[in-house]
Amino acid sequence: MRQTKERESNCRLAVDIEGLSAMLSCGQMTARKIAEDAGARITIGRRVLYSVQKVEKYLEAIAE
């Protein structure tokens, strides 16, 4: 199996759970809960990514 390369990018469409928890400054379980509530989970084969746009929109909605 080929290892995923780390690439530098300022605007990401989707991130893995580690990237999401770093972006939210919280633990992985909290990040998963926020992503599930936002409906941001994207499954491609065995890989699970989370939509940054949906998470941001959800956080804006609950902040008001």
Position 17 pLDDT exceeds 80: yes
| Mean residue pLDDT across the chain | 92
Name the strand (E) or helix (H) holding 58.
helix 52-63
Pairwise CA distance, residues 43 & 22, whole Å: 20
Q: What is the pLDDT of residues 51-61, one digit of tens each?
A: 999 999 999 99
CA distance 33 to 3: 27
Does the pLDDT of residue 10 top 80, yes or no?
A: no
How confident is residue 20, by pLDDT bands cut at 50, 70 and 90? very high
Task: Output the pLDDT for position 41.
Answer: 97
- Residue 3 is predicted with a pLDDT of 79
Domain-wise residue ranges, the chain: 14-63
What number is the average pLDDT over the span 25-48?
Answer: 97
